[in-house]
Amino acid sequence: MLQSIRDRLTGILAIVILGILVIPFAFVGVNSYFSSGTGNLVALVNDQEITFNEFNQSFLDYRRRLQAQMGDAFDASRFDGEVARREHLDQMIDETLLRQVAADLNLSVDDERLAQQIRDIPAFQVDGQFNADVYQSRLIAFGQSPTQFEAQLRNDLAVSQLPSGIQASSFATNREVRKYVALSEQQRSFATIMVPADMDAVSTEFSDEDIEAWYADNSEQFRTPEQVVIEYLELDASSVAAGEPPNDDVLRDQFEAQKNRFMTPEQRRVSHILVEVAPDAGDAAVETARERAEDIASRARDGEDFAALAEETSDDIGSASLGGDLGFIEPGVMVEAFENAVYEISTENPVSDPVQTGFGWHIIKLTEVREAEGQSFEEARETLLAEYREDEVDRAFLGLADRLVDVIYEDPTTLEAAALDLGLEVQTVGPFGRMGGEGIAANPDVVEAAFSDLVLLQGSVSDPIDLDDHHLVMVRLAEHLPAAIPPLEDVREGVIAGLRAERARDEAEARANALLASLEDGASLEDLAAGAGLELEQVDSAARRQATPDRALVGNVFRLKRPAEGETVDAVVETGTGYALVSLQSVVDGVVDEDSPLATRQARMMVGNAAASFDAWALVRQLREQADIEIFEDNLSSGG
């Protein structure tokens, strides 16, 4: 089974799987699980070491994951400073504690669950279905071995059983669901006069005393982190000369040897309804679930709409909202019992008997069949030719890489000899810090190597660093720049800009408070807005997460107390651009939609998850109280 998982579902950096795990905090990077790590310690957790290299790699992986998820919305500044690094270390300590307890309890995960979890990872799917080609491409991109990925995922899932065991005992009462919906779906109506912070209205002239005082209070924000400039040699596919193309006899031999590769197996589109059974359920609970599944299957065979049945009864929330649709399935994708049932049912009798898997009982309906198809040699020729050329590039590239390493190792303090031998150019990048930089310095492996003892302290060339398929670099230190706060004269313009922004917000707050005082003295909002040259805006039925007219404004309005009947609550609140005078007029609580079973179930799940997260948090707090934890604060930034 393990080998079949490896064959079908081979690796990617485990950072992509964060979303499927139930532990309510971030996970450390994959390298920290499989490399011993060097450098000074940042923490000891019950005598288990967390080294600086492990911590820094995890921190970089976490940053890279968020950057990939958020795109242009990513804010790199949130990773600056010691606060962010300490928060991440706390997350690593929490997970280390859970791993220790999981090991003590011998928690494990069976092969069926492991395979299913991998198939469920969105990063490995196309149109909601697992895609082996996508999986393989990510394996190539990140250089993660199947054994490492499988081991880490199995470990993560085993650890997740600790908090999920507590979560399983958490439930939501009807009263809690009503309270949750009342708050989450609450709407508020209010009038507002927004007072923007106007930088242009603030003088650019400040006394030296003001500038020096502001710099003294805020100098940390100008601190430049420890940085390096590195030299590097880059070897990629462009360094490899193209060989002679093969003749068709060679390609035809390859086609005959791999004919099955060019066959598309029969695919079946199915929908399902899951009657979930807990992994530790007793025989009576299993039998009760089976009887419920039999009843649902009978209703489906009697002509009830399967999609409506799925929405009403399925415990698989993800597919229930799609009418149970799982898309097209091909052999080797689903667990064995489920797959066998999919290929046993027919278009004449499309609804299966209940099928048992590790998740519970499934009722499966066949909705469409795609017949198997195959390619001729002529159709497959271009693919075979591309693969032949790729193999040729592989061999040539490995030969050049071996030569590069051999020359470097003859004198590991310089890149010049290797550059001359292979006709490469010594390039430079930097300065950049431990959070990375531009070009190759955006790669966490390059950053880790640049700040390693080998490069930073010993002055040697790094080991080869794989950036991608047929793409590697070797780096050496060109310059080291320690962390420092620049003198005032170097950041004077930034200090003045900060001082102006602070004054502008102070003035906006003062104007808003003056408007509030006038309102409390009996002035009308209309007169106040007109007199101040500002706009009075009426916002009706604003939702809690509404972004207009200003996300911060709406969020702060929802923090105001509820007004009494016929009255308003007047206040000054902060906005994204300054301050605002707000007159909260009414609050309407959300109501559970009794006509929508799915909406009710989703609300109940949200409340249950919140309670479960709190229980899991309490578990981690208890483990911390009982643990022997030592943190080396001085090593967090530079490893000592």
Which are the contacts of 359, defined by CB distance < 8 A and separation ≥ 6?
A: 116, 274, 276, 277
Q: What is the mean pLDDT of residues 242-266?
A: 72
In Å, how far from its chain's centre is CA 460?
A: 35
pLDDT for res 385: 75
Q: Who has greater pLDDT, 393 or 15?
A: 393
Q: Who has greater pLDDT, 61 or 167?
A: 61
Tens digits of per-residue pLDDT, 524-542?
999 999 999 999 999 999 9
Backbone torsions φ then ψ of 328, nearest 5 degrees? -85, 140
| Amino acid letter, 94 | D
Task: Say whether both 242 and 271 belong to one domain.
Answer: no
Q: Who has greater pLDDT, 581 or 156?
A: 581
- Omega before 487 within 30 of 0, i.e. cis: no
Task: Say whether both 58 and 93 belong to one domain.
Answer: yes
CA neighbor of 85 nearest in space, from 48, 55, 64? 55
Question: Dihedral (C-alpha) 92, 50, 436, 410: value to the nearest 10 degrees?
Answer: -150
Q: Would you give the DSSP letter of residue 551?
A: H
Inside any domain, residue 257: no
Which are the contacts of 276, defined by CB distance < 8 A and separation ≥ 6?
A: 289, 315, 316, 359, 360
Task: Say whether both 216 and 153 belong to one domain.
Answer: no
CA neighbor of 464 nearest in space, from 447, 477, 479, 446? 446
Inside any domain, residue 74: yes
Task: Say whether both 145 and 28 belong to one domain.
Answer: yes
Q: C-alpha angle with apex 361: 355 to 365, nearest 5 degrees?
A: 60
DSSP 114-158: HHHHHHT-GGGEETTEE-HHHHHHHHHHHT--HHHHHHHHHHHHH
CA–CA distance, 640 with 39 (Å, rounded to integer): 8
Task: Say whether both 218 and 231 belong to one domain.
Answer: no
Query: String of b and e for 425-454 (b: at least 16 CB within 10 Å)?
Result: ebbebbbbbbbbbeebbebbbbbbbbbbeb
We report the CATH number of the domain holding residue 30 as: 1.10.4030.10
pLDDT for res 465: 92
Helix axes 248-257, 377-410, angle to 10 degrees: 100
pLDDT for res 38: 38
- Looking at 446, 463, 481, which one is the last position of a domain? 481
Question: Dihedral (C-alpha) 398, 401, 407, 411: value to the nearest 10 degrees?
Answer: -140
Highest mean pLDDT among 19-33, 390-404, 417-431: 417-431
pLDDT for res 19: 32
Tens digits of per-residue pLDDT, 413-462?
999 999 999 989 999 998 998 888 899 999 989 998 999 888 988 899 99
DSSP 494-512: HHHHHHHHHHHHHHHHHHH
pLDDT for res 57: 79
Going from the C-alpha of 314 to that of each of 2, 120, 301, 438, 512, the distances in angstroms are: 30, 17, 16, 49, 53
- Looking at 481, 506, 526, which one is the last position of a domain? 481
Inside any domain, residue 582: yes
Inside any domain, residue 622: yes
Range of the domain at 80: 2-173+614-635
In Å, how far from its chain's centre is CA 480?
A: 32
Tens digits of per-residue pLDDT, 84-94?
888 899 989 98
Inside any domain, residue 407: yes
Contact (CB, 8 A) for 230 and 448 = no
pLDDT for res 39: 47
- Omega before 549 within 30 of 0, i.e. cis: yes
Task: Say whether both 445 and 534 belong to one domain.
Answer: no
Contact (CB, 8 A) for 337 and 355 = yes
Inside any domain, residue 252: no
Task: Say whether both 96 and 200 belong to one domain.
Answer: no
Inside any domain, residue 600: no
pLDDT for res 143: 55
Tens digits of per-residue pLDDT, 173-202?
777 777 877 888 899 999 999 999 988 877
We report the CATH number of the domain holding residue 353 as: 3.10.50.40
Which residue bears the tokens 């990375």? 436
Q: What is the mean pLDDT of residues 233-242?
A: 76
3-state secondary structure of 182: helix
3-state secondary structure 386-442: HHHHHHHHHHHHHHHHHHHHHHHHHCCCCCHHHHHHHCCCCEEEEEEECCECCHHHH
Contact (CB, 8 A) for 430 and 230 = yes
Task: Say whether both 95 and 194 belong to one domain.
Answer: no
149 bridge partner residues? none
Which are the contacts of 97, defined by CB distance < 8 A and separation ≥ 6?
A: 45, 46, 620, 623, 624, 627
CA–CA distance, 227 with 481 (Å, rounded to integer): 5
Task: Say whether both 502 and 625 belong to one domain.
Answer: no
pTM of the entire predicted model: 0.45
CA neighbor of 365 nearest in space, from 420, 307, 431, 426? 307
Task: Say whether both 397 and 503 belong to one domain.
Answer: no
Q: Is the pLDDT of residue 363 over 60?
A: yes
- Looking at 341, 371, 401, which one is the last position of a domain? 371
Q: Tell me how many domains the chain contains.
A: 4
pLDDT for res 604: 67
CA–CA distance, 467 with 270 (Å, rounded to integer): 40
CA neighbor of 632 nearest in space, from 10, 67, 50? 50
Tens digits of per-residue pLDDT, 42-61?
899 998 999 988 888 788 77
Q: Which band of pLDDT confidence, cut at 50, 70 and 90, is reported for residue 115? A: confident
| Token digits of residue 55 | 């911590």
Q: Is the pLDDT of residue 144 over 50?
A: yes
Inside any domain, residue 594: no
Task: Say whether both 277 and 325 belong to one domain.
Answer: yes
Task: Say whether both 160 and 72 belong to one domain.
Answer: yes
pLDDT for res 35: 35
Q: Is the pLDDT of residue 566 over 80?
A: yes
